[in-house]
Structure 1
Amino acid sequence: MKSIDKTKLKMKPRNKINNMETHKNKELDAFIKEITTYGYFTTLKPDDRKNYLFNAKIIFDRYSSMLIAVQDLLKTCLNTIYNDENGNATEVENPIKHLKTLLEIAVQLLPINEGEVFDAVHKFVLKTKEFEKTDALSLDK
């Protein structure tokens, strides 16, 4: 019987492993190049204020469209709550989790800062109406 050279046995598997590692590295490099070149991962943008948060852009054509979207989110939440009480929401696993997500989105979409503008416009309209009343009274005299 021939004796087997143990050093040759050890070399073959190492070369094979090195070739596999090189192949895996080339695949990984190609994958990284593909995902960074072709515009993947563009939906979430890093938040400027907190490095562990991201922003996603939602586009509306006007404030009324945004408010209607908030209203729809709230109605969906209410519908889920009402149907859950009736036992009809069993198709949705863990509806409370989904409600929480929808409500968080609705809160973020509410134009709270613009509320001050609504107050100012409302005051202006009231003053205009008051002015029209006093102007009409002075014309009657």
Structure 2
Amino acid sequence: MTIILHTLIVALMASLSGAEESKLSAELLHAMRSDAEVRVDIMVQLTSPSEAVQASRDHADAADMSRTERVSCVAESLQSFAAHAQQPVKDLLAQRSGLFSGSEFLWISNSVAVKGAHRELVLALARLDAVKKIDEEQVFPVQ
């Protein structure tokens, strides 16, 4: 049984291309390689919204908006950009709902927090073009 599990792990990890594997942090790769059934809390980082922010700032400056209007314009631009960029991840999570326990979509950073993600889901996420990086979630306690 252990040999079969190990063989399955090796086969799954080998199915990743170099580009896909480079999206996974070293800590995440180690966790996935050490336990076939591991479930991890991850942060999925998508395309940077910096261009969308700059475009909305340029628009706000050209339209001679107040500070409040400019802030609203940037927020709306980020939300719209994230909604479009995050759609492939939303679709994948909808198709594989049994492979994670929860998710939260973060428009301000264009990232997705996924709780209890199974290895199969992590590998599928790494294959998406929209995904730039996947890390284990880091929690910093505030005292």
TM-score (norm. length: structure 2)? 0.21
- The structure with higher relative contact order (CA 8 Å, sep 6+) is 2
Q: Looking at CA atoms only, which structure, 1 or 2, has the larger radius of gyration?
A: 1
TM-score (norm. length: structure 1)? 0.22
- Structure having the higher helix fraction is 1
